């Protein structure tokens, strides 16, 4: 098998990149991404001129907050290989080149949120990434709305970030930058949703096209409990969200205790950080994955 060559796309290939996005992921987020994030220097593709086979993007994503340390991180996003080129190593070549690019640009940590569970093993073997982020996720098929529910208040990015960081104190997490939240806000506008405060809690809400409301991030005060059904903060938050976004299904994501959530994201670390990042009480929190 011949070596797969990676490269940056030319300006003439943007329509092809958009076509791959739509073919693999559908149209959601495509316009917002190419308007807000797309940079050919942060995009890696394989394939011949004007005929890309696989593509992936590197997105500056903020910092990993670990104790008193703050580590710059980038996210590998929207890796897509056309069906006719799968199983040939194109995706592996793209991911590994994006990791090399991140190191060159000064990012000691690179994160990724696999779309399918089987991809955790794939990226572990092919790109030397390791499972690191977990999420406490639960689906509610109905939510009782109380007349005295706490109000849902839409807030600015800065207001959300202040409350978010307060609620995530003591938890290793990705502190997203303003630019990251701008993109998330664009997705919320496209799908219906937003950044909200609910009393002392905060949430990122998307009302998606499958008829479900996805609460991409729900942070509650004293959120050490993993019991969804008896937490009054959770009950109030869900009731407030359901009042504004009535739906048949609610998917809720929260930080998880070690071993109790499902694996959610992976990380590749520079050599000097390999043994340094660990957390004994809570799993590191990824936040939004734009999935």
pTM: 0.92
User: CA–CA separation, 67 vs 255, rounded Å?
Assistant: 17
Spatial neighbors of 148 by CB under 8 A, at least 6 apart, are none
Q: Within this chain, do residues 67 and 128 fall inside the same structural domain, yes or no?
A: yes
Q: Within this chain, do residues 163 and 245 fall inside the same structural domain, yes or no?
A: yes
Q: Within this chain, do residues 237 and 146 fall inside the same structural domain, yes or no?
A: yes
| Structural domain range at position 41 | 11-134+258-273
The answer on pLDDT for 282 being more than 70 is no
The answer on pLDDT for 7 being more than 60 is yes
- Asked if the structure places residue 205 within a domain, the reply is yes
- Asked if the structure places residue 81 within a domain, the reply is yes
Q: Within this chain, do residues 150 and 58 fall inside the same structural domain, yes or no?
A: no
51-55, 83-87, 180-184, 282-286: range with lowest mean pLDDT: 282-286
- Asked if the structure places residue 269 within a domain, the reply is yes
Q: Within this chain, do residues 88 and 183 fall inside the same structural domain, yes or no?
A: no
- Asked if the structure places residue 39 within a domain, the reply is yes
Q: Within this chain, do residues 126 and 269 fall inside the same structural domain, yes or no?
A: yes
Q: Within this chain, do residues 17 and 130 fall inside the same structural domain, yes or no?
A: yes
Range 2-12 average pLDDT: 91
- Asked if the structure places residue 2 within a domain, the reply is no
Mean pLDDT across the chain: 90
pLDDT digits (tens, 9 = 90+) for 159-210: 999 999 999 998 999 999 999 999 999 999 999 999 999 999 999 999 976 7
Q: Within this chain, do residues 181 and 216 fall inside the same structural domain, yes or no?
A: yes
User: CA–CA separation, 178 vs 160, rounded Å?
Assistant: 10
Q: Within this chain, do residues 84 and 144 fall inside the same structural domain, yes or no?
A: no
Whose structure tokens read 């490269």?
Answer: 7
Range 74-97 average pLDDT: 95
Q: How confident is the model at residue 50 (pLDDT cuts 50, 70, 90)?
A: confident
Q: How confident is the model at residue 85 (pLDDT cuts 50, 70, 90)?
A: very high
User: CA–CA separation, 39 vs 109, rounded Å?
Assistant: 20
Q: How many domains does the chain have?
A: 2
Q: Please tell me the predicted confidence (pLDDT) of residue 277.
A: 65
User: CA–CA separation, 168 vs 49, rounded Å?
Assistant: 46
Output the 3-class SS for the chain: CCCCCCECCCHHHHHHHHHHHHHHHCCCCHHHHHHHCCCHHHEEEEEECCEEEEEEEEEEEEEEEECCEEEEEEEEEEEEECHHHCCCCHHHHHHHHHHHHHHHCCCCEEEECCCCCHHHHHHHHHHCCEEEEEEEEEEECCCCCCCCCCCCEECCHHHHHHHHHHHCCCCCEEECCHHHHHHHHHHHHHHCEEEEEECCEEEEEEECCCCEEEEEEEECCCCCCCCCCCCHHHHHHHHHHHHHCCCCEEEEEECCECCCCEEEEEEEECHHHCCCCCCCCECCECCCCCC
User: CA–CA separation, 229 vs 235, rounded Å?
Assistant: 7
- Asked if the structure places residue 170 within a domain, the reply is yes
Q: Which two tokens stand for residue 284?
A: 């590191």
């Amino acid at each position: 098998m011949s070596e797969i060559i990676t490269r940056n796309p030319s300006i003439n290939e943007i329509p092809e990149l958009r076509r791959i996005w739509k073919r693999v992921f559908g149209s959601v987020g495509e316009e917002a991404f190419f308007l807000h994030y797309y940079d050919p220097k942060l995009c890696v593709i394989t394939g011949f001129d004007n005929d890309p086979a696989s593509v992936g993007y590197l997105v500056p994503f903020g910092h990993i907050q670990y104790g008193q340390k703050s580590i710059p991180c980038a996210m590998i996003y929207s890796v897509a290989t056309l069906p006719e080129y799968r199983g040939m190593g194109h995706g592996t070549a793209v991911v590994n080149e994006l990791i090399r690019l991140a190191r060159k640009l000064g990012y000691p940590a690179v994160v990724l949120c696999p779309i399918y569970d089987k991809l955790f093993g794939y990226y572990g073997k092919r790109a030397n990434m390791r499972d690191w982020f977990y999420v406490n996720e639960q689906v509610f098929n109905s939510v009782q709305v109380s007349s005295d529910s706490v109000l849902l208040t839409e807030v600015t990015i800065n207001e959300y970030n202040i409350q978010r960081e307060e609620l995530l104190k003591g938890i290793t997490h990705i502190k997203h930058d303003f630019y990251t939240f701008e993109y998330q806000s664009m997705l919320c506008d496209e799908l219906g949703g937003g950044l909200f405060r609910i009393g002392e809690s905060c949430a990122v809400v998307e009302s998606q096209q499958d008829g479900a409301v996805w609460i991409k991030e729900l942070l509650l005060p004293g959120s050490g409990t993993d019991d969804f059904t008896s937490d009054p903060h959770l009950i109030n938050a869900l009731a407030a969200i359901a009042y504004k976004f009535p739906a048949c299904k609610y998917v809720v994501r929260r930080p998880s205790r070690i071993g109790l959530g499902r694996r959610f994201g992976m990380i590749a670390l520079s050599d000097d950080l390999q043994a340094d990042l660990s957390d004994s009480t809570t799993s590191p929190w990824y936040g939004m994955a734009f999935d």
